[in-house]
Structure 1
Amino acid sequence: MENVKTLYVTGYKSFEIGVFQDNDPKITVIKKVLKREISDYLNAGLEWVLVSGNLGTEIWAAEVVAELKNDYPDLKLGIIYPFKEFGSNWNEKNQGNLTKIEGLADYVDSVSHQPYQSPAQLKMHTKFLLEHSGASLLVYDKEYPGKTEYFLKDAELFSEKYPYEIRLITMDDLQNSMQE
């Protein structure tokens, strides 16, 4: 947590944890834990939070960062899409969520400036995020696999060669926060 200037936040997509409504109580719990964790990083010098715009954890993290900006006006939010036109095939409601967080962001760009062509773009995106952040905060539990597993494996390999912190928020962490 020390001297992490840029934090990448990712985790479960909403459908992976059965969240289909914006008023699902699970969102409140996840946002509460994200806020606490990101605040800890802020108190240790965090300047930027990056997300990729995926539905679920990343959208909620962006909303949490927007809230935290009230107390930490220097905090910046960056959205780094893997490719151009990311989310353009989503339904109107989901595209609206993306547009909303773009409005909250200080920086929006994509690693590949082409529309989706191949998985290589996703690999380049992961590499970019690892090289441009000092740590990752993942709402992810290895006992409940999801797509975040791919990023986590790459991050673990990266952390064997470079100083890189990986913090997991597990199902137990979420459960415990409900009892606080």
Structure 2
Amino acid sequence: MSLERILITGYKASELGIHSMKHPGIPIIKKAVAKVLRGLLEDGLEWVVVSGQWGVELWAAEAALELREEYPALRLAVITPYENQEEHWGEEKQEWYRSLLARADYKACVSKRGYEGPWQFKAKDRFLLRNTDGLLLLYDEEKEGSPRYLRAEAQRYAAIEPYRIITITAQDLQDTADEERPAWD
């Protein structure tokens, strides 16, 4: 099953213990995502979709934008659960987020209001699952976190609709990190 539109999600930065935009784990996550995306692009992937969550989603969006050099037809959509989700982030993160949004091909909010409650995240998940062909999820069974909700919803959806779920695990990240190490280490 080839995918034209893939939703990407995973842990929030804080769930991974990442509190700096210079953390050495970020390039590893981006490389692991890019590796999967390259294979999907060869099979016809056209859109990467994220909800703009600070963490794996935004690093994946950045990886997708970097892949445009090789795959100029690749498009990025950022569809947030509500308006101004970045308003409580630090200034550096807000600036980086806004520059990423400026390079996205499509930007929208599922709820055209500010944050009102958890129902907005559920509505966002349902909307994004219905409007993509698959999910690329950075998730480890041994480390539960916020991605488990979308994962469970995607599994329910995949039971009734053709929907592909691809997982990047902690082992995949370790393998990517090992590939980056010089052979003499």
Indicate whether the TM-score tops 0.5.
Answer: yes
Indicate the residue corresponding to 1:5 in structure 2. Answer: 4
Q: Which residue of 2 aligns with 1:165?
A: 164
**Structure 1 stretches of at least 4 aligned residues deviating more than 3 Å after TM superposition:** none
Are 1:140 and 2:112 matched, yes or no?
no
Aligned pairs (5 A) from 1:93-172: 93-172=92-171
Aligned AA for 1:85? N
Alpha-carbon RMSD? 1.0
CA distance in 1 between partners of 2:24 and 2:90 (Å): 22
1:70 aligns with 2:53: no
Matched, 1:30 2:35: no
- Paired residue total: 179
Unmatched tracts of structure 2, length 5 or more: 180-185
**Structure 1 residue 94 displacement after superposition:** 2.0
Q: Secondary structure at the residue paired with 1:22?
A: coil
TM-score, structure 1 normalization: 0.96
Q: Which residue of 1 aligns with 2:44?
A: 45
Could you tell me which residue of structure 1 aligns to residue 182 of structure 2? Answer: none
How much identity, in percent, do the aligned residues show? 37
What letter corresponds to residue 146 of structure 2 in structure 1? K
Q: Could you tell me how far apart the structure 1 residues matched to 2:77 and 2:66 are?
A: 15
Q: How far off is 1:89 after superposition? A: 2.0
Task: State the shift of 1:95 in Å.
Answer: 1.3
Q: TM-score normalized by structure 2?
A: 0.93
What is the letter of the counterpart of residue 170 of structure 1?
T
1:54 paired residue number: 53
Which structure 1 segments of 5+ residues have no match?
none
Q: Distance in 2 between matches of 1:136 and 1:126?
A: 11
Structure 1 residue identity aligned to 2:69: N
1:19, distance to aligned residue in structure 2 (A): 1.2
Q: 2:88 & 2:27 partners in 1: Cα distance?
A: 27
C-alpha contact 1:59 1:97 (8 A) present in aligned 2: no
CA deviation map 1:49-106 (0-9, x unaligned): 0011111111111111111111111110000000112221222122122112102200
- The alpha-carbon deviation at position 4 of structure 1 amounts to 0.5
CA distance in 2, matches of 1:12, 1:162: 25
**Distance (whole Å) between structure 2 residues aligned to residue 117 and residue 172 of structure 1:** 37
Specify the code of the residue in structure 2 equivalent to 1:116: Y
Which shifted more, 94-103 or 108-117? 94-103
